[in-house]
Structure 1
Amino acid sequence: MQGLLAQGISVRFGARPVLQGLDLPLLRPGEVTVLAGPNAAGKSTLLRAIAQLQPHGGRVTLDGQDLAHMPARDRSRLVGFMPQTLPGASSLVALESVIAALRAGATIGARQADHAALAVMEKLGIAALALEPLSALSGGQRQMVSLAQAIVRDPRLLLLDEPTSALDLARQVRLLSELRRLAGEGRIVVAVLHDLALAAQWADRIVLLHDGRTHAEGRPEEVLTPALLAQVYGVEARVERCSRGRIMVLIDGEHAPG
């Protein structure tokens, strides 16, 4: 079975359940899937569980292979993970950090690694940052370097946790365009996004989380409805289309339960 499947994912932090037997539909190659939902819905926890960075119950398979039972080095070749932020105290320069990410999952010569890492940074428009210390970069610049680290091994599955949160508008478009291109090459792309307008524009599928479970999933127009937004986010919203046919979510106020 080609794709990513997560079944019965459960995570507890102490006595508090965060994810409660959560199932995801089969996420197929070529698609960008957005995980959406209010704060504390479990989006980042789910992403880390899929990446096997968070202990969890349940099962995650990629193309039929159980990721939990896969050697870490093999898994690192297949799965690219972009955290919300990179540590700012690192002594590495940006290029060194991308090279380190590449060599963590592949046996590659030094010169080849240098060229591959720099090529990815050039593609993302951040080659000028190559020799800058990570500690000197802005939050948005560190996010772009983090994306370079996640994609430099050419992963089958790309997981991104709030990748646009510190980016200006132009960088958001560049990053999301790159995600669309990567998915178009046959990868599975899963991203946590808070901005529903971006999710509506760029996602093939939205999975809406609520109370640690999958509340709804489907195409943006199926998930971003006034009724679901009232149930999950507690807001009164209008969902309309702009002159280019794109979905717009307009929040009018808090939802008053009837």
Structure 2
Amino acid sequence: MRGLLARGIHVRFGTRHVLEGLDLPPLAPGEVTVLAGPNAAGKSTLLRAIAQLQPHRGEVTLDGENLARMAAQARARLVGFMPQTLPAGSSLVALESVIAALRAGGAMPAAQADATAMAVMEKLGIAALALEPLSAMSGGQRQMVSLAQAIVRDPRLLLLDEPTSALDMARQVRLLSELRRLAGEGRIVVAVLHDLALAAQWADRIVLLHDGRTHAVGTPEEVLTPALLAEVYGVTARVERCSRGRIMVLIDGEHAPAC
């Protein structure tokens, strides 16, 4: 089948079970899926397990192929992964780091690699950073370079861990618009987002994690309800629509469970 499928994903850190037999619904090309949930729900761990960067039990398939059984280079051509942060101490300049990410998918003539990497940076509005050392950049600048690294191989599956956390509002819109465009071209996009307002605006589907399991799956309208927000986040919330019809989540306080 076409798309991403994860079944029975189990991750343990020492004696703590972070993910316990977690299943994801089939994630289809053309969709942006947001992984949401409180801290320690397992969102980042799940993303790394899908990318085969985190040891786990269970199976992850992309278009019917088991990702764990692929050669690393073949998997790199299919899967782009954007971590929460890039290492601040890297001696590379931005363009070099994007070229290195491109070549992880296979050898390429130097001139072609340079041109491809530069074209991606221009598309993201960060061409001016091409010769800047990563070590001299702000957190937001490094995040945009990290996005360039993730998409430069033109992956089938794009995985992003809190991609907007260090970005100002204009950069958030630029990044999320780019994700929508990439999904619209037939890719599968999965992102961890803490900001439920952004998730409501940009996601086709939200997967809500809680205690290492999938708690709810659906459209933003189906998942972002006062009842589910009380269950998972422990808050009393109102879910309303603005004058443009967009969902707004308004937190009124902590949820007091019934005695």
For normalisation by structure 2, the TM-score amounts to 0.99
* TM alignment of 1:100-179, pairs within 5 A: 100-179=100-179
Counterpart of 1:67 in structure 2 is 67
Counterpart of 1:253 in structure 2 is 253
3-state SS, counterpart of residue 27 of structure 2: coil
Letter in 1 for 2:246: R
CA RMSD of aligned residues (A): 0.3
Mapped to 2, the partners of 1:203 and 1:67 lie a distance apart of: 24
For normalisation by structure 1, the TM-score amounts to 1.00
* TM alignment of 1:1-258, pairs within 5 A: 1-258=1-258
3-state SS, counterpart of residue 86 of structure 1: coil
Query: Could you give the per-residue CA deviations for residues 164-200 of structure 1, whole angstroms, max 9, x where no partner exists?
Result: 0000000000000000000000000000000000000
Mapped to 2, the partners of 1:133 and 1:21 lie a distance apart of: 42
3-state SS, counterpart of residue 25 of structure 1: strand
3-state SS, counterpart of residue 24 of structure 1: strand
Gaps of 5+ in 1: none
Mapped to 2, the partners of 1:37 and 1:80 lie a distance apart of: 23
Mapped to 2, the partners of 1:237 and 1:51 lie a distance apart of: 34
State the Cα distance separating 1:107 from its structure 2 match.
1.8
Mapped to 2, the partners of 1:30 and 1:108 lie a distance apart of: 28
Letter in 2 for 1:53: L
Q: How many residues align?
A: 258
Gaps of 5+ in 2: none
Mapped to 2, the partners of 1:243 and 1:206 lie a distance apart of: 23
3-state SS, counterpart of residue 100 of structure 2: helix
Mapped to 1, the partners of 2:94 and 2:142 lie a distance apart of: 8
State the Cα distance separating 1:203 from its structure 2 match.
0.1
State the Cα distance separating 1:106 from its structure 2 match.
2.2
Runs of 4+ with deviation above 4 angstroms: none
3-state SS, counterpart of residue 208 of structure 1: strand
Letter in 1 for 2:50: I
Query: Could you give the per-residue CA deviations for residues 84-117 of structure 1, whole angstroms, max 9, x where no partner exists?
Result: 0000100000000000000111221000000000
Mapped to 2, the partners of 1:111 and 1:104 lie a distance apart of: 16
